[in-house]
């Protein structure tokens, strides 16, 4: 278990450091960046979908005898992540509206309301990522590594976008980078939750596997 925990926490810390990638994106050509982000998103979709279909869903059905319970938590995962994704899309859209039109006639040097919202929602998103990484390592180290790679591919374009929106919200580059990095470490909290409850509550891990599969 100690070996598994080391792998899990090392992985979630690596994922958290992905939040620093935004500063490097500033030096890239915009056309090249847009093309790269599109390719990364496409690759991430395939990796997440493959991990869910090949690893997580079969594992959930093998651990829970009642298929209806597995299906229910997969559905809950789908709906939960759909709601979160819709909220994030609204947040990004509102962030771009602020960039071009301004928000509530605020002064240009003021922090726009979208700024704290970005930090909070990104923190929640990373917390869930930490739970998924922790659960995947409790299945096996191999599945944990595969899940971590899929999440990293997903996080790169996400963190670039979040960093840009924090700057548009009125934060300096250094402060935007720091806040993005701090919110990313909520993933570590998610992994801690998994190892606390996953090792003491027998039904926790199978249920979270099904939930994570639905989210992917």
Q: What is the pLDDT of residue 167?
A: 80
- pTM of whole model > 0.85? no
Mean pLDDT of the chain: 79
Give the start-to-end residue ranges of the domains of the chain: 2-215
Q: What is the pLDDT of residue 50?
A: 80
pLDDT band of residue 169 (cuts 50, 70, 90) is confident
Residue of 81 and 40 predicted with greater confidence:
81
pLDDT band of residue 77 (cuts 50, 70, 90) is confident
**Tokens 């598994």, located at residue:** 4
Calpha distance 92→100 (Å, rounded) = 13
Q: What is the largest CA-CA distance in the chain?
A: 59
Position 29 pLDDT exceeds 80: no
Q: Which of 181, 191, 193, 178 is nearest to 155 (CA)?
A: 181
Tens digit of each residue's pLDDT (9 = 90 or more) over 143-152 = 899 999 988 8
Position 202 pLDDT exceeds 70: no
Calpha distance 154→49 (Å, rounded) = 11
**Tokens 């790169």, located at residue:** 156
């Amino acid at each position: 278990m100690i070996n598994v925990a080391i792998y899990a926490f090392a992985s979630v810390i690596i994922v958290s450091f992905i939040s620093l990638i935004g500063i490097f994106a500033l030096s890239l050509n915009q056309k090249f960046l847009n093309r790269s982000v599109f390719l990364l998103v496409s690759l991430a979709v395939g990796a997440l979908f493959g991990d869910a279909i090949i690893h997580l869903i079969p594992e959930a059905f093998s651990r829970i005898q009642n298929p209806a319970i597995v299906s229910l938590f997969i559905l809950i995962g789908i709906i939960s992540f759909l709601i979160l994704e819709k909220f994030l899309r609204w947040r990004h859209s509102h962030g771009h509206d602020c960039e071009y039109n301004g928000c509530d006639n605020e002064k240009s040097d003021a922090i726009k309301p979208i700024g704290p919202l970005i930090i909070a929602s990104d923190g929640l998103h990373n917390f869930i990522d930490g739970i998924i990484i922790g659960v995947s390592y409790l299945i096996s180290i191999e599945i944990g590594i595969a899940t971590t790679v899929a999440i990293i591919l997903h996080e790169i374009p996400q963190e670039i976008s979040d960093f840009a929106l924090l700057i548009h919200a009125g934060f300096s580059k250094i402060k935007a980078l720091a806040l993005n990095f701090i919110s990313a470490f909520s993933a570590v909290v998610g992994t801690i939750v998994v190892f606390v409850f996953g090792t003491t509550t027998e039904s926790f891990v199978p249920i979270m596997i099904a939930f994570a599969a639905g989210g992917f």
